[in-house]
Chains A and B, each alone.
Chain A
Amino acid sequence: MSTTTIAPAPSSAPTADTTASARSRPTVTAVLTWMIGGLFAATLLAVLASVIVTSISASWGGGWLPDGYTFSWFRQAWDTPGLARSIEVTFEVAAADVAAALLIGVPAGYVLARKRFPGRNAIMLFTLLPVILPPLTYAVQLAALMYRLGIGGTLLSVILVNLVPILPLVMLITVPFVEQISPDVEHAARVFGADNLRLFSRVLVPLLSPGIVAAAVLSLVRVLGSFELTFFVSGAKTQTLVVTIFGALSDPGGPPPALTAAMTVFYMAIALLGLLISLRFANPAQTLARPAHRTL
Chain B
Amino acid sequence: MTQMPVTEIQSCARAERQPIRHRLADRGVDWSLLLLGPAVAVIAGLFLYPFIYGLSISFQPQAGGGALANYKNFFADSYQVGSILKTLRLALPVAFLSVALAAPLAYRCRRDFRGRKVVTLVVMLPITFGGILIAQGMPRVFSPVGWLNLTLKAIGLPQADLIYNYQGTFIAALLTSLPLSFLMMMGFFGGIDRSLEHAAATLGAGRAARFWRIILPLAAPGILTAFMLALVESFAIFPSAILVGQPDNQTHVLTIPIYQAASQNSDYTMASAIAVVLTAIELLILGVVVFVRGRLFKGPATAGKG
Excluding A137-B279, A292-B300, 11 further A-B contacts by CB distance (< 8 Å) are A36-B104, A43-B141, A104-B39, A111-B33, A136-B236, A137-B278, A227-B238, A249-B132, A279-B121, A284-B183, A289-B222
* Candidates B120, B132, B188; contact of A227 at CB < 8 Å: B132
- The answer to whether the Cβ of B1 comes within 8 Å of any Cβ in the partner chain is no
Residues of A within 8 A of B188 (CB): 289-290
Does any Cβ of B come within 8 Å of A29's Cβ?
A: yes
Most chain B CB neighbours (cut-off 10 Å) among A144, A160, A163: A144
- The reply to whether A285 and B128 form a contact with Cβ atoms under 8 Å apart is no
Verify A289–B38 contact, CB threshold 8 A: no
Residue of A with least CB distance to B108: A33
Residues of A within 8 A of B147 (CB): 46, 50, 64
Q: Which of A30, A116, A144, A225 contacts B50 (CB 8 A)?
A: A144
What 0/1 pattern do residues 214 to 252 of A give for CB contact below 8 A with B?
A: 000000010011011000100000000010011001100
Which residues of chain A are near B286, meaning CB under 8 Å? 132
B278 contacts A134, C-beta separation under 8 Å:
yes
Chain B residues near A (Cβ < 8 Å): 27-30, 32-33, 35-36, 38-40, 42-44, 46-51, 53-54, 101, 104-105, 108, 117, 120-122, 124-141, 145-148, 150, 171, 175, 178, 183-184, 186-188, 190-191, 193, 204, 207, 222, 232, 235-236, 238-239, 242-243, 255, 258-259, 262-263, 268, 271-272, 275-276, 278-279, 282, 286, 300-302
Q: Would you give 17 A-B contacts (Cβ < 8 Å), ordered by A?
A: A33-B104, A47-B141, A48-B129, A50-B138, A63-B145, A117-B27, A117-B33, A134-B255, A137-B275, A140-B272, A161-B46, A224-B128, A267-B129, A279-B121, A285-B183, A285-B190, A286-B187
CB-contact partner of B42 in A63, A163, A276, A293, under 8 A: A163
B262–A232 touching, CB < 8 Å: yes
Interface pair A136/B141, CB less than 8 Å apart: no
Most buried by A among B141, B145, B300: B141
Min C-beta distance of A174 to chain B, whole Å: 11
Nearest to A37 among chain B residues (CB) is B105
With a cutoff of 8 Å between Cβ atoms, the chain B residues found around residue A227 in the complex are 130-132, 238-239
Tell me, in angstroms, the Cα distance from A250 to B135 when the chains sit together: 11
Residues of A within 8 A of B (CB-CB), count: 94
Question: Which residues of B are found within 8 Å of A142, using beta-carbon distances?
Answer: 46-47, 50
Chain B residues positioned under 8 Å from A44 (CB to CB): 122, 125-126, 175
CA A131 to CA B231, docked complex, whole Å: 12
User: Residues 252-296 of chain A: 1 if any B CB is under 8 Å from the residue's CB, otherwise 0?
Assistant: 000000001100100110011011100100011111111011000
B271–chain A nearest beta-carbon distance, Å: 5
Residues B53 and A107 in contact, CB atoms below 8 Å apart: no
CA distance A271 to B127 in the complex (A): 10
Q: Are the CB atoms of B175 and A140 closer together than 8 Å?
A: no
Contact between chains at B128 and A293 (CB < 8 Å): no
**Residues of chain A lying within 8 A (CB to CB) of residue B43:** 126-127, 130, 164, 167-168
Closest to B43 in A: A126
Note all chain B residues with C-beta closer than 8 A to A288. Answer: 183-184, 187
Bound-state Cα–Cα, A127 to B27, Å: 22
Q: How far is the CA of A225 from the CA of B125 in the complex (A)?
A: 12
A53 at the interface (CB under 8 A from B): yes
When the two chains form their complex, are residues B121 and A140 in contact, meaning their CB atoms are under 8 A apart?
no
